[in-house]
Amino acid sequence: MTEARITVNGKETPLSPATPHTTALDFLRERGLTGTKEGCAEGECGACSVMVAKPGVHRPTDWVAVNACLVPAAALDGQEIITSEGLATDGEPGSMPSLHPVQEEMAVRGGSQCGYCTPGFVCSMAAEYYRPGRCDHTGTGAEAGDGAAADHSAEADAGTDPEHGPNGFDLHALSGNLCRCTGYRPIRDAAFAVGAPTEDDPLAQRREQAPPAPVATEYTQDGSTFLRKSTLHETLQLLRERPDAVVVAGSTDWGVEVNIRSRRADCVVAVDRLPELRELLVESDHIEIGAALTLTEIERRLDGDVPLLAQLFPQFASRLIRNGATLGGNLGTGSPIGDSPPVLLALDASLVLADGDGERVVPLAEYFTGYRQSVRRPGELIRAVRIPLPLAPVTAFHKIAKRRFDDISSVAVAFALDIEDGIVRTARIGLGGVAATPIRSLATEAALEGKPWSAETVEAAARVLRGEGTPMSDHRASALYRSAMLGQSLLKLHAQTTEAVSS
């Protein structure tokens, strides 16, 4: 076991004397890298974002933006990160460093005023700047690597899709970054003006080399320990010995507990880099998704092959969160308002649970037993999610929340229907936010199956759906509103499918 170290802006930095609960944000700031800011401490503002070299989807390495306020610094042992300070390149001796293209565009287009949020925007923007395929088929001067060639106003660039620039820049890459004083138009202008990385760009070249290999970590300070084993078998043996350990992957949930509720754990076990939890397999009768694959990795590797998941991903928190969050983590927390359970329930998914004695497969519909409780035993991990094939052809995910993106659901409804010759052959409906656990809408499914997909059937089933669950009133929505939205979601689905058929 070697000393825990992180490569920061090209320089190896020892983790000590940080504690196992020290966030990457505090670790960096204590070393003078104060461009990384704390705004919310719960992954909503993006002022803390940094780039991490991670296994690539289409290249050996992807530069991925993450919230440094949520990730334990110990989780980055052996890894390589870039902060806003590390984006600029050294010039001639005695001269100022040369700004990175995204820094240059933010400066010249007025994307910064007080500057507090700017480094976080810059890191998120740089990760999108280096995204493989961003400049493919854009048909604009942005591919030339000259930002000036892409000098367009935001209004002229909008076209039919105001959220994607002519340079291929996806504004959703910035959905987890907030700015209080500049306004977003200049930032959008800067995003849509960046060109393609040049051939001599060192961070672009870095993508062609493998990321740092996972390292086993055993780091103890102040009576707390952070552990990462090399294999699933070793991890399961450890959890048998330490059933009280907190298991983390992206730490997007545990990081909030540490920051906001001052939670501490004697032992934290990381599973995010276990190869056995990072596979995605497509078999003849099912798709198996590793529990430690991030949502961004799943989204890009499936590339729309599971349409219901493709609808979920853009509405699940922000890109910064999706770059760290996992299906295993979202299901492991057992939250009744998690966005993935309703979708996976509609997909009739099962979970592969593993412990030191072997594996078992549990239907997701039988997994949740109470508020944040499940059938998962102490020492047991979610290894993978299995989705049976073939997929239902009619699917939809309706998330009702106060904000369009990056918000917690008031109600989430997922539909997967097989309609043949106008008859509903099978129906699967997953609900979130209306009970102590995510639930299947069994009564509504029964009201639909074997019936014609008609206005009369749907209106009757919508009345049943309004009575499903035990919704409560809180600051996000009243119980009556939640019930009303359930029925309305089914009516909306019928209207959309009827419109699609008629057109």
Strands (E), 344-483: 350-355, 358-363, 368-370, 373-374, 381-388, 394-400, 411-420, 423-432, 439-440
Q: How far apart are CA 65 and CA 85, in angstroms?
A: 15
pLDDT less than 70: residues of the chain: 1-2, 91-95, 137-160, 499-503
Return the pLDDT at 89. 83
0.95 exceeded by the pTM? Answer: no
Region for residue 32 given its phi and psi (left: phi exceeds 0; alpha: psi -120 to 50; beta: otherwise) = left
Q: Which domains does the chain have, with CATH numbers?
A: 1-213 (3.10.20.30), 229-391 (3.30.465.10), 394-502 (3.30.390.50)
CB 237 within 8 A of CB 245: no
Q: How far apart are CA 234 and CA 80, in angstroms?
A: 25
* Burial (CB count <10 Å: 0-12, 13-18, 19+), residue 99: middle
Amino acid at 60: P
Side-chain-side CA neighbours of 346 within 13 Å: the count stands at 29
The residues facing 362 across adjacent strands are: 351
CA distances from 306 to 50, 77, 301 (A): 30, 34, 11
Q: How far apart are CA 159 and CA 319, in angstroms?
A: 23
Q: How far apart are CA 309 and CA 291, in angstroms?
A: 15
DSSP state of 269: E
200 alpha carbon, distance to own chain's centre: 31
Q: What is the pLDDT of residues 340-385, one digit of tens each?
A: 999 999 999 999 999 999 999 999 999 999 999 999 999 999 999 9
What percent of the chain clears pLDDT 90, i.e. is strictly above it? Answer: 87
The residues facing 414 across adjacent strands are: 397, 430
Return the pLDDT at 90. 72
Pairing of strands 246-248, 267-270: parallel
| Cα–Cα nearest to 141, from 165, 161, 162, 171 | 165
Return the pLDDT at 183. 84
**Between 184-193 and 101-108, two packed helices, what is the crossing angle to 10 degrees?**
140
Q: 461 Cβ partners below 8 Å, 6+ apart?
A: 444, 447, 448, 451, 490
Q: How far apart are CA 230 and CA 271, in angstroms?
A: 9
Q: Is 427 helix (H, G, I), strand (E, B) or coil?
A: strand
How many helices (H) and strands (E) the chain has is answered by: 16, 20
Locate tokens 């949740």: which residue? 368
Q: 298 Cβ partners below 8 Å, 6+ apart?
A: 280, 289, 309, 313, 327
Return the pLDDT at 354. 98
373 alpha carbon, distance to own chain's centre: 23
Query: Which strand ranges, in their side-by-side order, compose the sheet holding 246-248?
Result: 217-221, 224-228, 267-270, 246-248
Return the pLDDT at 311. 97
Return the pLDDT at 97. 77
Return the pLDDT at 91. 62
Return the pLDDT at 147. 38
Return the pLDDT at 238. 97
